[in-house]
Amino acid sequence: MSGNNAAISAGLFRARVELRQSVTNVGELIGWLWIPVIAVVVMYIVGDSKVPGTDFSLGSQSVPGILGMNAVFTGLMGLALSLVTDREDGTLLRAKATPGGMVSYLVGRILSKAAITVVVFVLILVPSLVLFDGVGKSTASSWLTLIWVLLLGLLAVMPLGAILGSLFSNAQSLGFVTLIIMGLVSVSGIFYPITALPGWLQWVGQAFPVYWLGLGLRSALLPDAVAVAEIDQSWRQLETVLALGAWAVLGFVLAPIVLRRMASRESGSTVAARREQVAQRPA
The tens digit of pLDDT for each residue in 174-204 reads 888 888 888 888 899 888 899 989 999 999 9
Question: In 3D, which of 164, 160, 162 has the Cα closest to residue 173?
Answer: 164
pLDDT at position 29: 82
pLDDT digits 0-9 by tens, 153-177 = 999 999 999 899 888 877 777 888 8
Q: In angstroms, rounded to a whole number, what is the distance separating the alpha carbons of residues 95 and 82?
A: 14
User: How far is the CA of 91 from the CAs of 66, 151, 206, in angstroms?
Assistant: 33, 28, 37
Closest CA to 87 of 18, 164, 6: 164
Where exactly are the structural domains of the chain?
Answer: 3-268
Average pLDDT per consecutive 10 residues, the chain (283 residues; last block may be shorter): 72 86 85 85 80 86 90 89 83 77 84 90 91 86 94 93 86 82 88 90 94 95 92 95 96 88 73 60 55
Give which of 225, 249, 220, 26 is closest to 159, Cα–Cα: 249
Residues in the chain: 283
Burial class (CB in 10 A: 0-12, 13-18, 19+), 131: middle
Does residue 253 contact residue 163 with C-beta atoms inside 8 Å? no
Give pLDDT, residue 282. 56
Q: Residue 132: helix, strand or coil by DSSP? A: coil
Q: Kindly state the DSSP code that residue 50 receives in the 8-state scheme.
A: B
Q: Are 56 and 76 in contact (CB under 8 A)?
A: no
pLDDT computed for residue 279 by the predictor: 56
- Rg of the Cα atoms in the chain: 20
Cα gap 125→63, rounded to integer Å:
8
* CB burial string 189-202: b at 16+ within 10 A, e below: bbbbbbbebeeeeb
Structure confidence at residue 220 (pLDDT): 94
